[in-house]
């Protein structure tokens, strides 16, 4: 099989002081064509006008990748699920600050500067009950703001089993949000068989791709590349998605449609972006 359509990484972070353009160039050199650049939390910018600074920088990074590397780029902006710990640790009102970040992300979405709200959701490790309850409450509010604006949402959460997905789906439905425009980033391969309406985004590891090919369920692929030189090997390399496409070409006779759905149809349905 030979695949010749777009190759899209659904969750990719870049830093101006990381590999930055070089990481995007490695993705392109391996055959990648489009990236979803998600903002990275960075307390070093200071907590005043925190989201203005973090989002502005992400938009600047996206422009640099479009212009200097020549990739198609969509942007995802939103308050990271652990931001509330950062604000409450600094003696600030976490609810007010996080909602400010959500409102700004929605505003930038309405101006066409980003295509998705995220990554938002729940801490992926144990936090106090108080913080977990607040996370659920804020997620519900963010989902209903996104629903009002018609914006898709990228979720960051702990691993979800069937019950976890059901609870998220319940929250999504009561927020008036279309479940099919909500994406679970860093989902597990077994999530493909849970029958959830929430969209699955899989880490592009070899075992995950082999599982995906065997079950043939729609999913995004991602690296969750974090571009942090101080943590080498923390995540899979930036060129992993195009490399897995080459692997699928070797190992699968008839995977064109599956790949095309991951890189073209799903981005169009969920984010209203057209990668070709
Ligand atoms: Zn991320």
Domain borders along the chain are 8-271
217 in Cβ contact with 27 (< 8 Å) = no
Is 231 a residue whose pLDDT tops 80? no
Q: How far apart are CA 146 and CA 161, in angstroms?
A: 24
CA angle (234 as vertex; 221, 79 as ends), nearest 5:
65
Residues 184 and 167 sit within 8 Å (Cβ to Cβ) = no
Distance in Å, CA 254 to ligand 1 centroid: 31
Expressed in angstroms and rounded, the spacing between residue 91 Cα and the centre of ligand 1 is 25
- Looking from the CA of 106 toward its CB, the CA atoms found within 13 Å total 17
Residues 220, 199: contact at Cβ < 8 Å? yes
Cα(60) to centroid(ligand 1), Å: 18
Ligand 1 centroid from CA 204, angstroms:
14
- Check pLDDT > 90 for residue 110: yes
In this prediction, residues 41-50 reach a mean pLDDT of: 95
Q: Calculate how far, in angstroms, residue 119's C-alpha sits from the geometric centre of ligand 1.
A: 6
pLDDT over threshold 70, residue 139: yes
Q: How far is the CA of 253 from the centre of ligand 1 (A)?
A: 32
What the block records as the tokens of 154 is: 């990228």
Q: How far is the CA of 12 from the centre of ligand 1 (A)?
A: 7
What pLDDT, on the 0 to 100 scale, is given for residue 233? 62
pLDDT, mean of residues 174-202: 97
pLDDT reading at 234 higher than 90? no
DSSP 147-161: HHHT--EEEE-S---
Confidence of residue 232 (pLDDT cuts 50, 70, 90): low
CATH for the stretch 8-271: 3.20.20.140
Q: Confidence class of residue 193 from pLDDT cuts 50, 70 and 90?
A: very high
């Amino acid at each position: 099989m030979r695949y010749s359509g777009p190759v899209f990484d659904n969750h990719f972070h870049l830093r101006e002081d990381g590999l930055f353009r070089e990481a995007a160039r490695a993705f392109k050199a391996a055959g990648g064509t489009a990236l979803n650049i998600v903002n990275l939390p960075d307390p070093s910018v200071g907590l005043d006008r925190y989201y203005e600074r973090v989002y502005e920088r992400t938009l600047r990074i996206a422009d640099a990748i479009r212009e200097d590397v020549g990739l198609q780029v969509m942007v995802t902006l939103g308050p990271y699920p652990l931001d509330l710990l950062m604000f409450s640790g600094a003696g600030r009102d976490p609810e007010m600050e996080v909602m400010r970040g959500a409102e700004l992300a929605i505003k930038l979405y309405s101006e066409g500067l980003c295509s998705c709200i995220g990554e938002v959701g729940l801490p992926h490790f144990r936090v106090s009950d108080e913080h977990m309850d607040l996370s659920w409450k804020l997620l519900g509010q963010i989902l209903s703001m996104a629903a009002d604006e018609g914006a898709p949402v990228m979720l960051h959460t702990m691993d979800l089993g069937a019950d976890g997905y059901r609870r998220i789906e319940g929250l999504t439905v009561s927020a008036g949000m279309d479940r099919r425009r909500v994406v679970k980033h860093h989902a597990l391969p077994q999530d493909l068989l849970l029958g959830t309406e929430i969209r699955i985004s899989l880490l592009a590891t070899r075992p995950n791709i082999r599982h995906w090919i065997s079950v043939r369920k729609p999913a995004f692929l991602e690296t969750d590349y974090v571009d942090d030189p101080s943590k080498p090997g923390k995540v899979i390399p930036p060129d992993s998605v195009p490399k897995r496409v080459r692997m699928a070409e070797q190992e699968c006779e008839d995977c064109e449609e599956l790949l095309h759905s991951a890189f073209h149809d799903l981005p169009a349905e969920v984010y209203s972006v057209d990668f070709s």
